[in-house]
Amino acid sequence: MSVYIKAEFRNQGIGKKLMDEILAAGQKCGLHTIVSRITEGNEASIHLHRVAGFQDIGVMREVGHKFDRLLDIRLMQLIYPAK
């Protein structure tokens, strides 16, 4: 899942609203879990996921490459409560 908010619209709760809608749709469709991969250093995305209930499950070391750098990818997971 990726949610991108244009710079001038950030810090207005739009990302949280979009995340809430996406997660509600996933639960309605019967998903049991969602896994997100976030580039290390993207603190806004990490925070958004934590607020939504995601937990850290690991880091994939040096699997991304951007701007001539190797990047770590943080794995976060949300498990929907059993019904």
Residue ranges of domains in the chain, CATH in brackets: 7-79 (3.40.630.30)
**pLDDT band at residue 3 under the 50/70/90 scheme:** confident
d(CA 10, CA 34): 24
d(CA 42, CA 63): 15
**pLDDT band at residue 78 under the 50/70/90 scheme:** very high
Average pLDDT over residues 12-21: 92
pLDDT in tens, 55-72: 999 999 999 888 899 999
Q: Under 8 Å CB-to-CB from 18, ≥6 apart: which residues?
A: 3, 5
What is the pTM (predicted TM-score) of this model? 0.84
Question: 10 - beta bridge partners?
Answer: none
Q: Is the pLDDT of residue 6 over 80?
A: yes
Question: 79 - beta bridge partners?
Answer: 33
